[in-house]
Each structure stands twice: as C-alpha cells, then as structure tokens.
Amino acid sequence: MKILITGTSSGLGFGLAKYYLQKNHTVFGISRRTNTELEQSKHYHFLSQDLSNFDESKKNITAFLKDTNSLDLVILNAGMLSEIKDMKDTKLNEIKKVMDVNVWSNKIIIDLLFSVLENVKQIVAISSGASVSGARGWNAYSLSKATLNMLMSLYANEQAQTHFCALAPGLINTGMQEYISDVPDELDYPTIKRLKDARSSGQMPSIEEAAAINAKAIERLQEYESGSFLDVRKI
C-alpha cells in the first residue's frame, strides 16, 4: 500500500509509520521534525512541514506527492494538546491555535489530495474520546476533536469514492502523558486522574502496542458507515 501519515516524528504517528514500514508498505510521512529510525527505511519518504502554515503546506505537499497518483490510506494524526484548564480560563487565541493544527490543517490536506491525486481510498482522522465526553479541563482539545469528527462526516457525504472515519485510538503512553502526569493532583479533573492511574499501573499500551492495535482496527473501518466516529476499544 501507499500510505500518507502526518505527525510521524513521535507518538502514534511514529508507531504507525514503523508498523507499516515493517510490512513493506510505502509510507509518506509529514512532520515538523524528522525521525532517524524511520529514515533508515528505503520505503519511507519524508517532508518536514509545519502544518499550521497553510499556504506553505499546500505548496510543499503538492511537490512532495508529485510522483504519486493515488493513496490507499491517509492517516491524519498530527495534532496538539491544549493546556489542561477550565474553559473559562481558555483564551480565544489558544483555541484558534489548536483548531488550526487539529482541524483546519486537515481540511487543507484533504482538499489538496482530492485536487492532485486520481484516487484516495481511505482517510482516517485520529480523534479522541475527549471529542464526545465533555470532560472538564480539555477545553480547546475537545472542541477541536469534536469538529474533526464532523469534518469527516461532512466529507463522507461529499466524496463517496473515499471512506472516511474519525478514530479514537485509546490510551497510549506518549509524550502527551508526560505533560498530563505533571498536572497538579489537587485540580478537580477526574479524567486526568484516571490517565495517571492507568499509566502508573501499567495499563497504558506502549506506542508500538497501540500502533498494532490501531492498524488492525483501521483494516476493519470500512465495514462501518463512512464518516463514522469510532473508538478503537469498541471495534
């Protein structure tokens, strides 16, 4: 397969890229930073790009894919976490920054792919349980992932030839968990406490384990209605 993955420098994006490369698929990775382990594979093609720079992204991704006329799978994984705090304390400029990365950069990519490629078989946007839980403290991140879910649903109604899905990937022991571990315990954010407990008790899958779980789930997504929001733990 020919697979495009964003956010491949670390976390789930890195894990998924590594998983597919080990199965001899061709991976086009886009991230701000490179990953030396992935670069060792002859099947890995990399573009260093800040996806929040929309005009530059259009130009550089077009050039990056100039020798490709189709993609079997696109995984829109790149994203950022907002500071954990109450909505009333979250400024509009903070929300805008998160929305640019987690939502609008993906719209830019999707529109570009349909304009320069002959066929895109499947697009998976990495969402989160926070998109539907409304849990206290997740503010801009929850808003962005909820919007991302709807973005996939809207495109599914427009592009019937492509299967779309927003996928919550479950718990993963990534760099995001390092930040969450430093959130003060005295703050009244129940979800944060559950994440800390899961990590400390060893119940949080490693990047490699989570990548394998999610890759296997992605194989089954086309059994569901295009545009769906799905949780990997319920597939």
Name the nearest CA neighbour of 126 among 194, 217, 1, 64: 217
Enclosing H/E stretch for 6: strand 2-6
CA pair distance 57, 40, nearest whole angstrom? 25
pTM: 0.92
Confidence of residue 189 (pLDDT cuts 50, 70, 90): confident
Q: Do residues 112 and 154 touch, judged by C-beta distance below 8 A?
A: no
The token pair that represents 115 in the structure block: 């304009």
Confidence of residue 205 (pLDDT cuts 50, 70, 90): confident
For 74, the 3-state DSSP assignment is: strand
The token pair that represents 80 in the structure block: 């950022």
Tens digits of per-residue pLDDT, 5-57? 999 999 999 999 999 999 999 999 999 999 999 999 999 999 999 999 999 99
CA pair distance 149, 10, nearest whole angstrom? 23
Q: Quick one: average pLDDT of 114-128?
A: 98
91, burial (CB in 10 Å: exposed 0-12, middle 13-18, buried 19+):
exposed
DSSP 101: I
Q: Do residues 171 and 205 touch, judged by C-beta distance below 8 A?
A: yes
CA pair distance 144, 95, nearest whole angstrom? 8
CA pair distance 16, 39, nearest whole angstrom? 14
